[in-house]
Structure 1
């Protein structure tokens, strides 16, 4: 119930004028392929199991993906790639995520983003990242079983580090540089597992392959089960 209240707060947020203007304008102008659909065009709440041991942390909703469908990593190719891997790893009930009523369930996982609104050019500003940090901090506080945070991309990694340090967790010094497959231990906290983001730029060019993401989820399993 506490998590539901928090997600209601997320959905109602209007703290960042630039993001509010952009997400709502996209929802009116729309992409031609979706012109008959009603866009969500609000902050996108996290999705999954609050009792999970794994948090999947992305950058922000895609303008015509989650900003349209209202569910994280849903309705775009990044989500297709991610949920297919989560399905193979046993974290998702099906390999596709097309809309909020498609029946998808995630097991032992919580899918969220460092910034809850779709940003122009997919690039949130530092003050927008910091304005959203309070939500992630509260999500962490409401997840007592959390053992790993899968950071999808460098932005998510940076956000996770800032949030964990702000919450009083001790991280390694010097901090490891972002790299695919890097694990960052957190004293008495969730291990950070780093992965390239499943963006089209990464998946179409082969920088991130299905096998590489499968290896990441195998590492996640070792962390949460170990």
Structure 2
């Protein structure tokens, strides 16, 4: 009887162990990893890989709007504040950075302040701003690049290309089509809106308001999504 009881107990333990292993395997198979912040991220802040982590959630609560690849988040801007371990959804990210950041506003640079604008500039591009002075040497005004919110003609139309397909090249990350479209622009840039901090705008206004100094706005680089696509393809 003792041997029978011991055998039954061992059999029960074996069955339970097998059930426990299978249960863990099933639970692991029914979970999926999503991208979440590992800390608080303010609205308007550009997201880096150091701010992100993986989190496993049950497949039953996963949705198509959640993000499963870290490359889809890095370099984008948070539209709203993101809490730690909160699922990042696509609508919470700003891909093109045309909106001003948390400490920024969109300013239209007065025409009287401008000496020249590169005609290759398009909305979403990064530009460098130089100051050209009558009495002093020319210099780069800000060391960091400035994001262009929009560029318009004298009739207040966005400078773009006639072909509708080329207008969406930025969305598809098509660098070759964007290059071609810059050669076929449909108007001269008369007005430019850029995203600046208050300190940057006050510096421009202080330097240019007396008419002795003017700005030279030079095209610097492609929008971040297109640059990211080019690096991924290379």
TM-score in terms of structure 1 length: 0.26
Task: Report the structure number with the largest CA radius of gyration.
Answer: 2
TM-score by length of 2: 0.25
* Higher relative strand content: 2
Name the one with the larger helix percent: 1
